[in-house]
Structure 1
């Protein structure tokens, strides 16, 4: 075999090797697609199907936390963050006005934790939901807002929040098991998704019969707001 034939043979061998490599890469790509595409589709479907129903501010869902008169002509939906100081003010104003408006109002609380600025907001929301799973959402709601100025300064809030559960005679171990599941977290996420769709950009956000209203800064103005809607 002369030199020219040797070179031709080498070129043919290199070409065959390149073709085999290309074929192998194509087969690997096809195999990866066969595996990955179903996984991606499953993930997307799980995301859509696992999110749960979202309610507009003019709707009240079965999973909502509601107090007041279920037959009232006024439905107030509040989107709030337990670590938000303005939300604590709204809680105080609502609590002071409540004896005067309770018969005319159905109050709905929905979560809107601002986790980018409030490091404990998400934990507070989960603890409120855990208390709600044992029938004491509104009692935990009160404790979280009334003690906000203290627990907001803590590095770790778990023992403090556990103390609130004990104060309410709730099963702390059961609460932790509930919070470890995705059910409570999904409720918080659904509330927040619904709020975002409704135009919530900050907290607290107050909707009266489906329409967003400025949040009254004192109980007199809160009562006046209810009076106006009662007359309309």
Structure 2
């Protein structure tokens, strides 16, 4: 199993925070995964605490066999990205993990301010499916076998992300 992120973070990734930050945290996540849902506030806390010292990148890793709505939710995030609202949809999906069927995805789109007709069209677009597939394949090449999976500065993070441990680890990398 590889411990290296493949490929490295680039302009194709969904990213928050300062480009060139000393810490780059990449999450491979599944919007229907309860563990990813639990990790969501830990990531938000790390972003809040570390500010411009942290760049956060999200890559889709829908585990469709275990989570029947995960693929469609990932496509919804990519459809929102077409209207410049990836992060708003990302947050809505994690904050409403038990509401991921098609009708509910359209409601989330409306709530985050998307043109819903455009969203529904983009949901079917090949570009979104290609992005989700590319993210998933990069996870496989990087050794991801479950979610959430984290990489810090290109290296697989095997530690606990709960109870503030991810934040503590990130802070230790700044010293």
Q: Output the TM-score relative to the length of structure 1.
A: 0.70
Which of the two has higher C-alpha Rg? 1
- Bigger relative CO (Cα 8 Å, ≥ 6 apart): 2
The residue aligned with 1:21 is: none
The residue aligned with 1:173 is: 117
> Per the alignment, do residues 58 and 224 of structure 1 end up closer, same or farther by CA in structure 2, a change over 3 Å counting?
farther
| Distance in structure 2 (CA, Å) of the matches to 1:105 and 1:93 | 13
Number of matched residues? 171
The residue aligned with 1:7 is: none
For residue 180 of structure 1, report the CA deviation from its aligned partner: 1.6
The residue aligned with 2:132 is: 188
Counterpart check, 1:164 vs 2:113: no
| Distance in structure 1 (CA, Å) of the matches to 2:93 and 2:36 | 11
Q: RMSD value over aligned CA atoms?
A: 1.5
- Pick from 205, 216, 222 the counterpart of residue 166 of structure 2: 222
Q: How does 1:84-163 map to 2 (within 5 A)?
A: 84-148=33-97, 150-151=98-99, 157-163=101-107
| Distance in structure 2 (CA, Å) of the matches to 1:139 and 1:181 | 20
Contact 2:18/2:53 (<8 A) preserved: yes
Q: Which residues of structure 2 form unaligned runs of 5+?
A: none
Q: Secondary structure at the match of 2:73?
A: helix
Q: Which residues of structure 1 form unaligned runs of 5+?
A: 1-54
Q: Secondary structure at the match of 2:32?
A: coil
> Per the alignment, do residues 139 and 163 of structure 1 end up closer, same or farther by CA in structure 2, a change over 3 Å counting?
same
Pick the structure with more helix per residue. 1
Q: Output the TM-score relative to the length of structure 2.
A: 0.92
Contact 1:205/1:215 (<8 A) preserved: no
